[in-house]
Amino acid sequence: QKEVEQNSGPLSVPEGAIASLNCTYSDRGSQSFFWYRQYSGKSPELIMFIYSNGDKEDGRFTAQLNKASQYVSLLIRDSQPSDSATYLCAGKTGTASKLTFGTGTRLQVTL
């Protein structure tokens, strides 16, 4: 049973718009969440992580965590064509350093 779920997309947004990427998780013990960006043919690179309820902002990116609803999201403001990639959500449970990854959402930013 997959513990982290993402819509595979593609999610298409026009340049300059806000892209909203969503992720749900089933393990209530999950403590922290990570968003990675992966360009085609490349390896995942960390965008940001969040472990407290609420919002966390870093430049054009905002991560949101709602533990009651078991929901994590990533907002990308002023979307650029260079943001076109697959975005992976991952959750960490317990003291182990293992992450459980979703299958990713493909984002397309159109001109």
Partner 1 sequence: DVKVTQSSRYLVKRTGEKVFLECVQDMDHENMFWYRQDPGLGLRLIYFSYDVKMKEKGDIPEGYSVSREKKERFSLILESASTNQTSMYLCASSPGTLGGTQYFGPGTRLLVL
Q: Which residues bind partner 1 (CB under 8 A)?
A: 8, 32, 34, 42-46, 49, 51, 88, 90, 92, 96-99, 101-104
Contact at 8 Å (CB) between 92 and 33?
yes
Q: Could you tell me how many helices (H) and strands (E) the chain has, helices first?
A: 0, 11
Least distance in angstroms from the C-beta of 32 to partner 1: 6
Based on CB atoms, which residue is closest to partner 1, 84 or 102? 102
| Cα atoms found within 13 Å of the Cα of residue 75, Cβ hemisphere only | 15
Based on CB atoms, which residue is closest to partner 1, 20 or 32? 32
Alpha helices in 13-104 (DSSP H): none
Least distance in angstroms from the C-beta of 93 to partner 1: 9
Least distance in angstroms from the C-beta of 63 to partner 1: 13
DSSP for residue 83 = G
Based on CB atoms, which residue is closest to partner 1, 18 or 46? 46
Contact at 8 Å (CB) between 72 and 89?
yes
